[in-house]
Structure 1
Amino acid sequence: MAHLPSPMLRSFPCFVLVLFTVLARDSSAGVVQDNAVVVSLHELKFGDDDRLSSMSASQIPRKQNGATILELKHHIPLSKPKKNHAKYIQNLLILDEARATSIQDHIKNYSKFQEKNAEFSSEAAQLPLSSGIKLQTLNYVTTITIGSTNTTVIVDTGSDLTWVQCTPCMACYTQQDPIFNSSSSPTYISVPCNSTTCTTSLQAATGISGSCSSDRNSCFYALGYGDGSYTRGILAQETIALGDVQIPNFIFGCGRSNRGLFGGTSGLMGLGRTQLSLVSQTTDQFGGVFSYCLPTRLYNSSGSLVLGNDTSAFKNATPVSYTRMIVDPTMAPFYFLNLTGASVGGVPINASGFSNGKILIDSGTVITRLPPSIYKALKAEFVAQFSSYPAVAGFSILDTCFNLSSYDEVRVPTLKLELEGEVTVSIDVSGILYFVKKDGSQVCLAMASLSYEDQVGIIGNYQQKNQRVVYDTVGSRLGFAKEPCSYS
């Protein structure tokens, strides 16, 4: 769930978070044959809804290979998904499209977005109430400690400001953990409204400067998301704990008025690129480097998020290959790279869109979006190689679907993305097909087309599974390696 405002390579201690995620088993269950993976349909199916009640208990933080390990789980709703699985998936895709559209709007006209949020900011001191719209929910969460309160937050590479709901809460949504009480914490301090943190840093992180409280002792922030949801409150400093790593004077948003469907979490952890992101604020501890590995199954599966440059925490099966991180100060906090090519089943894709292949990678967007010329060529080649399976109608943003219900095994063409620097990212088989219907009667190519050729592509989390993705913000590079994502 990326917000739509704003936007040293040394050996450092490392911080690992364990997570539970999307879909089936590792692709190792399949057999690679001639640029295709033959895999059991059962292995590809989406995790059963009834597993919601069988999630394992939270693990106690521990150290391993010099790393601090916390549990990072896949974000699931407070209640079970509806029995109508297709409707549930449709809602997720609609919300995912809202996020992707908002990102495009932000990139297209950043200055107008700032002007719009300036009006939003002028009301922040009064903390007005208004209706929020649902945020997309297929994200990842972890539990950290703010002051002495354990709190569960969504982890997002497309956001900068970390925030949680706080008391006194003028308008808060339902969350699972106790709401943070700033008045009971001796280490809580409000950020002054005349500080550069309230003006320059906050504007870089959210697109707008803070405003002053009536006594001018506190800085009010107002952060609007692209779908209409928001958080408003006081910018503050507090000691946070990431496992046994203490971060004093951490700047965060103490949200007094918050709206949106955040699935019972307490707020959000921003892993973007500006000064207020957790990555930037912990550079002394972790060197501005973090990485993650997203596993394939929605429930009872684990992977890791590592803060720091300790590669001994990785379990990668191939060496980490790095591509250049494209830095665009006007489009913080997003991470951009250069897409130079793609192949399906070993057949290279020819498309004009590769000539300007700037693409962003995002942990909060689910489905990968490609420029129309690239998507059209990729789709045509995939359909040609998958033609032995009957086609069915498209679903929501997914327009290439098949009926696989009568098959025990399917032969899925390999899919690879080529990045600048001759870096090849092989998409795991679990990230190629998306189950709309549990019985396999509607299974779709898990990619979508952008509306226009000049829009910026997005590599979503569904295509990042079983990959070690390394974000080196100091070295301005992104790394990729195959890794069977598990925590053991």
Structure 2
Amino acid sequence: MQTTNPEILNIDRVAQPIPRGMARRRLHHGLQLVCLVAVVLTAAPAAHAIFHFDIRFDAGSPFFGGGHSRHDMWRRAALESNARLSRRLARALGNKQSGAAADAIVEPDVTLSQYTQQGHSLTVGVGTPPQPSKVILDLGSDLLWTQCSLVGPTAKQLEPVFDAARSSSFSVLPCSSKPCQEGTFTNKTCTDSRCAYENDYGIMTSTGVLATETFTFGAHQNFSANLTFGCGKLTNGTIAGASGIMGVSPGPLSVLKQLSITKFSYCLTPFTDHKTSPVMFGAMADLGKYKTTGKVQTIPLLKNPVEDIYYYVPMVGISIGSKRLDVPEAILALRPDGTGGTVLDSATTLAYLVEPAFKELKKAVMEGMKLPAANRSIDDYPVCFELPRGMSMEGVQVPPLVLHFAGDAEMSLPRDSYFQEPSPGMMCLAVMQAPFEGAPNVIGNVQQQNMHVLYDLGNRKFSYAPTKCDSI
């Protein structure tokens, strides 16, 4: 296994949530998919391996180069977040009710490519010899897939579509294969002994066949691994020129599972700052190695009893400042049937609370805000206030929104993590009511901004600490 000195990987976040996760396993919204550009060290799937990605959002994407104001970014993000979340949650809930060397890291050597408003991509090599493919990093889905000529006409993309006939290492998986049996797809059928699937990503749908192939990461140092992936195409929607998606959710087909990667962390800068954000996989995912502005706290990662859909945490209460809201712990809990609970989502821009909790929060905000309530709403923001003429949200002081977790841990969210200004003169609560009974609470990416968070999958722990993310 070849190694080099560790390097931090960075992402540049955009305001807009990006198509995320698979219908069955994930909540979506707007998480935003982190775009990626990778440098990876790999080993055979049976061995431990640690990815190290250099991830940046490109300033040439619409939110950065298209002349959009901060207000427009917030507004667009909210609209996409809600549209995707409702559809994907409905499918997820319906499905529930129906039943390499560990310390090896390589230096980043892949350049970032623009992925427009739908996200950003990383370029990987697919096949032998490698063919370039740009895939979106998705923390809310597990399947790695790329558009493939084997399955017919595909959506337009920047690089040539992967041609399986040109690869000596390509192999289609039969329906009897373990990945086909264990994978959680929107739909699955067997055609000519091939494992055919369909996945709904909320704003787009992909179909394809499961296969195995050699994936190569790194523009100059090539590290390869044999992975199960989807040889597919889009049948609905668009991914704006990219080739596919790389899912890193808790699901069974995740690259994390396939390569035994047990830890990853990220620290998201506010998307309106146009700055980079670090994301670390493997040995570098260690909050103790980086400077924080607050203490590191650790809570359990809960397991959904029905499916590996999201990353769940034990939220037990909510406060505004020092005032604890009348929100019973039971209504926030993950239920035995797999519904409810609280999930972390890097692609959902807004936060979502179940109805009783949202009503209590709304009541407390309405009573405590020293601004007149707006007589109109902005897009999908349900609670807005009118700012004094000539004043921006930065001039308004509000107490933190505090999320309480089991074991006396708490996450204190400053104003900019739960309020937004989607229109000049309008200050709106960036928290929504969960769309229907059974939906989980969602801690979105805006709530996680300037928070270094660590997912320790091996020990089933989630750690976090306030951090100036652009200083890592």
Say yes or no: does 1:187 pair with 2:166.
no
TM-score (norm 2): 0.75
2:397 pairs, out of 411, 431, 437, with: 411
Q: Distance in 2 between matches of 1:450 and 1:106?
A: 14
**Structure 2 equivalent of residue 448 of structure 1:** 432
Are the aligned partners of 1:171 and 1:258 in contact in 2 as well (CA < 8 Å)? Answer: no
Counterpart position of 2:55: 71
Query: Using a 3 Å threshold, how does the CA distance of structure 1 residues 70 and 210 change in structure 2: closer, same or farther?
Result: farther
State the Cα distance separating 1:113 from its structure 2 match. Answer: 6.7
Q: 1:74 to 1:449 in 2, by over 3 A?
A: farther
Q: Percent identity?
A: 23
Tell me how far apart the structure 1 counterparts of residues 273 and 222 of structure 2 sit (CA, whole Å).
28
Counterpart check, 1:19 vs 2:11: yes
Partners of 1:139 and 1:364 within 8 A in 2: no
Alignment partner of 1:366 is 2:349: yes
Q: Give the corresponding residue for 1:422.
A: 408
C-alpha distance in structure 1 between counterparts of 2:244 and 2:132, whole Å: 12
| Match of residue 230 from structure 1 | 205
Distance 2:407 2:343 in 1: 16
Distance of aligned partners of 1:83 and 1:363 in 2 relative to their CA distance in 1, 3 Å threshold = closer
Paired AA for residue 240 in structure 2: G
Cα distance in structure 2, aligned partners of 1:59 and 1:277: 17
1:280 paired to 2:257: yes
Deviations 1:294-352 (A, max 9, x none): 11134631112211143166443334322112212423221112211122233222223
Match for residue 158 of structure 1 among 135, 140, 148: 140
- 1:480 matched to 2:454? The reply is no
Secondary structure, aligned partner of 2:446:
helix
After superposition, the C-alpha distances for 1:347-366 in whole angstroms (9 at most, x for unaligned) are 22222365433211112222
Q: CA contact under 8 A between 1:234 and 1:255: conserved in structure 2?
A: yes
**Matches of 2:93 and 2:153 in 1, distance apart?**
32
What is the number of residues matched between the two proteins? Answer: 407
2:451 is aligned to: 467
In structure 2, do the counterparts of structure 1 residues 484 and 139 end up closer, same or farther at CA, with 3 Å as the change threshold?
A: farther
Find the aligned partners of 2:353 and 2:95 in 1 and give their Cα distance: 21
Residue 275 of structure 2 corresponds to: 301
Alpha-carbon distance between aligned partners in 2 of 1:59 and 1:366, rounded to the nearest angstrom: 22
CA contact (8 A) 1:74 1:138 kept: no
CA shift digits 1:364-388 (9 cap, x unpaired): 2221110122112222222333214
Q: RCO (CA 8 Å, sep 6+): is it higher in 1 or 2?
A: 1
Alpha-carbon separation, structure 1, partners of 2:358 and 2:325: 10
Structure 2 residue 81 is matched with structure 1 residue 96: yes
Q: How far, CA to CA, are the matches of 1:376 and 1:149 in structure 2?
A: 52
Question: 2: CA distance between counterparts of 1:321 and 1:245?
Answer: 37
Task: Specify the code of the residue in structure 2 equivalent to 1:179.
Answer: V
Q: Distance in 2 between matches of 1:355 and 1:60?
A: 40
Q: Is the CA contact 1:325–1:478 (under 8 Å) kept in the aligned structure 2?
A: yes
Unaligned runs of 5+ in 1: 1-12, 24-57, 115-135
Q: 1:105 aligns with which of 90, 93, 97?
A: 90
Structure 2 residue runs without a partner (length 5+): 16-35, 42-49, 100-115, 334-340
What is residue 298 of structure 2 aligned with on the other side?
322
Compute the TM-score of the two structures, normalised by the length of structure 1. 0.73
1:336 aligns with 2:321: no
C-alpha RMSD of the superposition: 3.5
8 Å contact kept, 1:74–1:298: no
**Aligned equivalents of 2:134 and 2:456: distance in 1?**
25
Query: How far does residue 210 in structure 1 lie from its aligned partner after superposition?
Result: 4.7
The SS at the match of 1:264 is: coil
Paired amino acid for 2:315: L
Distance 1:389 1:461, change over 3 A: same
Specify the code of the residue in structure 2 equivalent to 1:236.
A
Structure 1 pair 106–168 and aligned structure 2 pair: CA distance change class (3 A)? closer
User: Which AA in structure 2 matches 1:97?
Assistant: N
Shift of 1:108: 3.0
Alpha-carbon spacing, 1:242–1:190, altered in 2? closer, same or farther (3 Å): same
For 1:363 and 1:59, the matched residues in 2 are separated by 17
Give the distance between the partners of 1:474 and 1:241, measured in 2 at CA.
Answer: 25
CA pair 486-241 structure 1, distance change in 2 beyond 3 A: farther
Match in the other structure for 1:173: 155
Aligned residue number for residue 41 of structure 1: none
Q: Distance in 1 between matches of 2:384 and 2:150?
A: 49
Instruction: Answer whether contact 1:231 1:257 (CA < 8 A) is retained.
Output: yes
- 1:212 corresponds in structure 2 to 191
Instruction: Give the whole-Å Cα distance in 1 for the aligned partners of 2:198 and 2:54.
Output: 30
